Structure 1
């Protein structure tokens, strides 16, 4: 297979470079750098790859080859067609991206928040491309505890509750000083530049239930690590627990911090991913 020509920008001191490739006939900019095991990071809802730059630099410093695309509808990448705006549609785009940049070995696919749901579906639908899965404060769980303390389906969680808890997630320091500026820089432009894609993705965040796909990945023996932070106000513990319960071979890591802890503490993120790379389930996976 021939891959589209990639255009390079001037290398950065961090070892990361901006490049552009064609995915499904449209240009997509991405960050790439480092040498070693291949890692692809999928960003969260309303954000972009540059939001995670310091976290990516930490992975490069630890000896990983990192690719970080900006998914459709965010950070300047064109939105998906309406009939493909689904978790499956995003997963198909990620698979096309991995092939377009010429990655030939199965990658460690890391998904944060909304990117976690896309990562699960990508691993499910394109098993030859993904050798390991790391879900960081991931969307895709099926349960939520409402204001009365009742466990209900995540689809019943109103949009205002997501926004209220995201606001609460950003209030403490260092989250306020480290995370809020990048949310404002990357999230607000996404809503203004691609409003239709932004609101369609909002619906996907609210309705995504990937527990069945995650259970299937367990049956296949895919090494899977779920990372969740103790003070996450955006993804509730009940939702994460339904992901943990999808199959017995999932490795779980609990860290300090809130929903965007990996932006606030890139060093800890590097430690967590290094640990995840050593995990092999007892089923004898890849």
Structure 2
């Protein structure tokens, strides 16, 4: 049974086109939202095991802003990388060359969510990405092995390692299994709105199994826990917006505050009563912070969602 998106009507108001470009061996599919002549363009790097749909609740809030959301290599409709590895340097190189292929180098704002926050900050710090401003939603401010739920992170690491020891079909079946996805979704979701919660679970079940193969998804997971923003934060001097969550199971508020203090030009907003799913549960709040930070575009009136 189809679960209705609470953001569908807002998204329907936007002009949306799709295209594909080959970058570092990956046939990268991407979606363009909003007017072509908008004053500002945002390029999105989504979270681990997600794809372009994940940030659509936030994208739906914007007006007068152009957003480009690619599926990362090996996820969604995009094929894996063949010229570099599925690690942080590889994904950062891909993002930089993707932006270059679209003729947007130095002309777009980069927005990284969760895993995408590590990729985008590593790329900026190492000269692979150029942006006047940087937006990070649910930023991974410190090692996940030191976060509020370090035990669950270590358990997940063991699970992924075990999946690689099984026969390929069995391992991939296990990685996509309904129970595994539901456990993850339940652990991350905090909203008390039953309909929104049901939709979030449906989104995870619909898209979190949409990866190319076992090797790619495991390599990307290992990359996601191999590094965090604190390793490069001091080297990022562009104005940076950090949008964190009060109850993020991966990064604590104290770790976010430490990251802000480390970065030369960072502003931090911590959204209360939400965890690692700001983009689903507090999309309107996040969009308003982003528009205020950029000083361009606008957001719609707040939709009737009890998050």
> What is the TM-score normalised by the length of structure 2?
0.73
1:66-125 superposed Cα distances (whole Å, 9 cap, x missing partner): 111111111121223495222111000000110111225432111111010011012123
Aligned to 1:80: 81
Aligned to 2:285: 268
Contact 1:155/1:206 (8 A) holds in 2? no
CA shift at 1:13, angstroms? 4.9
Distance 1:275 1:13 in 2: 22
Q: Which moved more, 1:24-33 or 1:157-166?
A: 157-166
Which of 146, 157, 173 is 1:144 aligned to?
146
Aligned to 1:254: 270
Distance 1:42 1:244 in 2: 20
Distance change >3 Å, CA 20–CA 145, structure 1 → 2 = closer
CA shift at 1:236, angstroms? 3.2
Distance 2:281 2:87 in 1: 29
* SS of corresponding position for 1:66: strand
What is the number of residues matched between the two proteins?
256
Which of 24, 37, 42 is 2:40 aligned to?
37
Contact 2:246/2:275 (8 A) holds in 1? yes
Contact 2:191/2:281 (8 A) holds in 1? no
Which of 214, 219, 234 is 1:215 aligned to?
234
Aligned to 2:60: 57
Contact 1:179/1:260 (8 A) holds in 2? no
CA-based RMSD of the aligned residues comes to 3.0
* SS of corresponding position for 1:254: strand
CA shift at 1:165, angstroms? 7.0
Distance 2:189 2:222 in 1: 22
Distance 2:287 2:147 in 1: 31
CA shift at 1:128, angstroms? 6.2
Distance 2:107 2:128 in 1: 9
1:199-251 superposed Cα distances (whole Å, 9 cap, x missing partner): 11111122213323210113xxx101111011222333354344223235311
> What is the TM-score normalised by the length of structure 1?
0.78
